[in-house]
Amino acid sequence: MKPARLSLRSRIFAYMILLILVASILIALVTIFQYEEQSREYHDRRLKRKKEQVATHVKNLINFETTYIVNEKNLRLIFKDEIYKIANIHNLMINLYDLEGGFIITSDTSIRSEEIIECLPAEVLNGIQSNADKDYSADTVISNGKEYQSFYSVILDPKSKPLGIINLQFEVDNTFERELREFLMRLGYTYVVMLIVAIIFAYFISRYITRSLKRIGEKLDQTRFNQRNEKIIVEEVGEEIFNLITAYNGMIDELEESAVKLAKSEREQAWREMAKQVAHEIKNPLTPMRLSVQSFQRKFDPNDPNIHQKVDEYTKTLIQQIDTMSSIASAFSNFAKMPAQQSETLNVVEITRLAMDIFNEDYINYSYDKEEIIAKFDRTQLIRVITNLVKNAIQAIPENRTPKIDVRVFEYKNNVLITVTDNGVGISEDNVDKIFEPKFTTKTSGMGLGLGMVKNIVETFKGSITFTSKLNKGTVFTVSFPKSNES
């Protein structure tokens, strides 16, 4: 079983929603990337500016302001008071280390004991030594619940001789992160509103786009070869839909022309076949009539004492053959008369009883579910349908079998059903497809127009006739037609 395919309307709706979602995700990713880039550039610029300012301040202290001899041993004395000034001026925290990484002094007044400050790790010392600029940027560190960006640089004396290592710790500015979170939150709310609006918009747009296609599909489903089909008239449509509608309307015109030609051809063929059949049936009685006349002419003797008896026999033979030709003409005439749709409201149970009154056979049983079943049908045509079916049932029962025929009238949903059941010879599989053909018959006499006429009448009133049969056991014909045959 193949999975159900989505309709064009559903696919357009899904694609539009998917487009909105993808666009929203891409915009969010680009926004996050942009904010992170701005944040990184801001911190880099801030760090560079701070480093330059602190470096200038330290250089002025070493070269011009200190009264101590500038060497590695006096580094603590040189920065004893100045380290707090520099830290306050530049709003950062400063740690001072010797060249071996040992701690000297810090600007953090919250630290009570200098023993808690660890020596510089080996990776920092290696990073400083391997860098040509003698500086090193470490990862952010957490101190007193705050996040700091740490930077290490070598302090040089006026002769560019290394004196120690200064560690600058800048408090990380999380303004960008807060702004990013707030922006993403606002963006999320906006996307939710946009998504709701997009769903509503996509629903109506997809409905508008597929409205014409849906109408074309409905018309295509209703298109039938044997009926008049309406053209599609839609205004204000796109070029593609207009071309499709034009092609459909052109197809309807061609279909009607083909139907007219086919109907004409079928009528001509049917009348040709009927003419052949009538000619054949008429020729059958003409031959014995000719032989009778020739025999009468050859053997006629006015003096024959039995002349009156022979004339009577010849006359009976001719009358019998003439009656046969008359019945053939009547059958052909009845079939040629198409039943007019003169619908009248009638009680099907009562009309069927009237039709059954012409049959005096005791083995014909008539039953019905209730006394009154009202429907619209032509009274004369309904009687013709019933009498033909009952006659066929009588003729289908062989002489060596006790006949039994049941006629029943009942309702099913909004239809009236009439069944005629017999215990005759049944219908062979070879004849199943031919049973309603106008010229087909399994009897030795007749033209086979009865069932074809019945089918024609029933279908004119928007009904149907079907049958079930078991060979040598019997047949059930079922006529079904709506209570109201209005379109």
Write the pLDDT tens digit of every residue in 41-58: 877 787 788 888 888 988
Work out the percent of the chain whose per-residue pLDDT is above 90.
13
Q: Extract the tokens encoding 84.
A: 């707090």
Distances from the Cα of 165 to the Cαs of 3, 75, 130, 198, 207, in angstroms? Answer: 73, 10, 14, 60, 73
- Class at the top of the CATH hierarchy for domain 239-336: mainly alpha
Rounded distance between C-alpha atoms, residue 423 and residue 403, angstroms: 7
pLDDT of residue 406: 95
Q: Where in the chain is the domain with CATH 3.30.450.20?
A: 8-177
Least confident of 142-146, 207-211, 296-300: 142-146
8-177 has which fold?
A: Beta-Lactamase (3.30.450)
Phi, psi at residue 143, to the nearest 5°?
Answer: -145, 130
- Pairing outcome for strands 146-156 and 103-106: unpaired
Of 321, 325, 349, 443, which is closest to residue 391 (Cα–Cα)? 443
CATH 3.30.565.10 in the chain is located at 344-482
Which pLDDT score, from 0 to 100, does residue 448 have?
A: 40
Cβ atoms 470, 426 nearer than 8 A:
yes
How far, in Å, CA of 389 to CA of 352, rounded?
12
CA distance linking residue 123 with residue 419, whole number of Å:
104
> How far is the CA of 244 from the CAs of 208, 251, 252, in angstroms?
16, 10, 12
Q: In the predicted model, is pLDDT for residue 335 greater than 60? A: no
C-alpha span between 165 and 6 (Å, rounded): 71
**Which of 280, 289, 281, 274 lies closest to 322, judged by CA?**
289
pLDDT digits (tens, 9 = 90+) for 174-218: 666 677 778 778 877 887 888 788 788 877 777 776 776 676 767
pLDDT for 223 beyond 70 = no
408 — pLDDT class (breaks 50, 70, 90): very high
Q: Distance (Å, rounded) from C-alpha 407 to C-alpha 367?
A: 6
List 384's β-bridge partners, or say none.
Answer: none
Average pLDDT of every residue of the chain: 78
Is residue 139 scored above 70 in pLDDT?
no
Strand boundaries in 293-404, DSSP class E:
344-347, 364-368, 374-377
Instruction: Give the residue, 84 or 295, on which the prediction is more confident.
Output: 84
**Interatomic CA distance for residues 98 and 128, integer angstroms:** 13
pLDDT in tens, 410-464: 998 889 999 999 999 988 887 787 777 754 454 434 334 468 778 888 888 889 9
Please count the residues of the chain: 487
Task: Give the containing element (helix H, strand E) for 260.
Answer: helix 239-299
Q: Per DSSP, what are the bridge partners of residue 164?
A: 155
Q: Are 368 and 409 in contact (CB under 8 A)?
A: yes
Residue 35 has pLDDT above 80, yes or no: no
- What's the order of all strands across the beta sheet hosting 364-368? 364-368, 405-412, 415-422, 474-482, 464-470
Q: Which residue has the higher pLDDT, 33 or 333?
A: 33
- Give strand pairing partners of 411: 416
Task: Classify domain 344-482 at the CATH superfamily level.
Answer: Histidine kinase-like ATPase, C-terminal domain (3.30.565.10)
Following DSSP, what letter does each residue of 42-83 receive, concatenated?
Answer: HHHHHHHHHHHHHHHHHHHIIIII--S--SSTTHHHHTTTHH
pTM: 0.37
- Of 228, 236, 305, 294, nearest in space to 263 by CA: 228
Instruction: Report the pLDDT value the prediction gives residue 265, as an integer from 0 to 100.
Output: 76
What percent of the chain is predicted at pLDDT more than 70?
A: 72
pLDDT at 337 over 80: no
Q: How many other β-carbons are positioned within 10 Å of the β-carbon of residue 469?
A: 21
pLDDT in tens, 80-124: 888 888 888 888 888 899 888 888 888 887 764 444 456 888 888
Who's near 48: CB < 8 A, 6+ residues apart?
Answer: none
- Token pair 């508008």 is found at 208
120 membership: H or E segment, kind and range: none
Place of tokens 């020596």: 119
